[in-house]
């Protein structure tokens, strides 16, 4: 396996082999990011393709100082945002503004209760804008100010959408957990008898 440096040098020369190695090494990592932003797998793979095209053609923009994975992640997030802006035009978009629930108390979740796939699905149930903001803030760790710039929204919108998204996720997850618990209780009862 070649090192990142060798792969990058190969890609700079547009070597097909280096590009394939780059794909083999990072496609799964990047798909994991794309999936969180896309509404389904097909869209995620489309974004992933765009990400790699961008990476291959703009690899000279990578300064070489920071971590390469971090740079790839940034490209992926930017591509996902571009894609979001593009698809928003085509989607019939309803924001759940009537949603009036507040966070009630603190609820804790065991990590093992939910798989990444399930969390992804719950995330996908959020309105598209909420999902973007939550992804960027909570998982990618951007500041609200940066998100506002990237998404071309107001800082306060970013803040309120984030808190809203969090409340909704919390509610959805606890609902899911309760469902699962009752299911487990049922199956336990059956086992006992």
Partner 1 sequence: MERKGKYSDVDDLFRNRFSGYEPVPGPGLKARLMKKVAVKEFFSFYPARFNVYYLAVAAAVTGAVLLVTLGGGSGKSLPETMKIPGDSVAAIMQPITDTASMTHSPGVAPVTGKTPAFTTGNRPSDSHKESQPVIFSADEVDRKTVKSDAVSVTVDPIREVANPVRGDTTLQKTAVSSFKMSVSSGCAPLVVELTSTSGNAHSLQWSSGDGRHSDGKSLTWVFNQPGSYTVSLKAIGYDGSEDNASAMIVVHPSPVAKFDVSPANREVSDRDIMLFNYSAGFLTAAWDFGDGGKSHLRDPLHSYKASGKFRITLKVSNEYGCFDTLSKVYSTAPGIYRIDFPNAFIPNNNGPTGGYYSLRSDEAAYVFHPEYEGVTDYHLVVYSRTGVMLFESRDLNIGWDGYYKGQLCEPGVYVYRARGRYANGEQYQKSGDVTILRFR
Residues that bind partner 1 (CB under 8 A): 13-14, 16, 19-20, 23, 27-29, 31-32, 35-36, 41, 45, 48-49, 52-53, 56-57, 97-100, 102-112, 114-116, 119-120, 123, 134, 138-139, 155-156, 159-160, 162-164, 166, 169-170, 173
| Among 137, 175, 177, 141, residue whose Cα is nearest residue 159 | 137
The nearest distance, CB 163 to partner 1, in angstroms, is 6
92 vs 193, which CB is nearer to partner 1? Answer: 92
The nearest distance, CB 193 to partner 1, in angstroms, is 25
The whole-angstrom separation of Cα 149 and Cα 159 is 13
98 vs 193, which CB is nearer to partner 1? Answer: 98
Measured between alpha carbons, how far is residue 57 from residues 16, 86, 163, 193 in Å?
A: 12, 21, 37, 64
Compute the residue count for the chain: 193
The nearest distance, CB 139 to partner 1, in angstroms, is 5
The whole-angstrom separation of Cα 188 and Cα 182 is 10
């Amino acid at each position: 396996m070649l090192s990142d440096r060798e792969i990058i040098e190969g890609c700079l020369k547009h070597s097909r082999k280096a590009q394939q190695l780059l794909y083999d090494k990072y496609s799964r990592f990047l798909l994991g990011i794309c999936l969180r932003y896309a509404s389904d797998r097909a869209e995620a793979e489309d974004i992933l393709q765009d990400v790699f095209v961008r990476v291959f053609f703009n690899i000279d923009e990578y300064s070489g100082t920071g971590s390469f994975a971090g740079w790839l992640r940034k490209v992926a997030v930017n591509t996902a945002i571009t894609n979001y802006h593009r698809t928003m035009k085509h989607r019939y978009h309803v924001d759940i503004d009537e949603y009036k629930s507040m966070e009630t108390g603190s609820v804790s979740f065991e990590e093992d209760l939910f798989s990444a796939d399930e969390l992804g699905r719950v995330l996908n149930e959020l309105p598209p804008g909420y999902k973007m903001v939550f992804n960027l803030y909570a998982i990618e760790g951007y500041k609200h100010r940066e998100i506002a710039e990237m998404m071309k929204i107001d800082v306060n919108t970013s803040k309120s959408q984030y808190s809203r998204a969090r409340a909704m996720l919390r509610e959805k997850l606890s609902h899911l957990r309760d469902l699962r618990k009752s299911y487990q209780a049922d199956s336990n009862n059956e086992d006992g008898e």
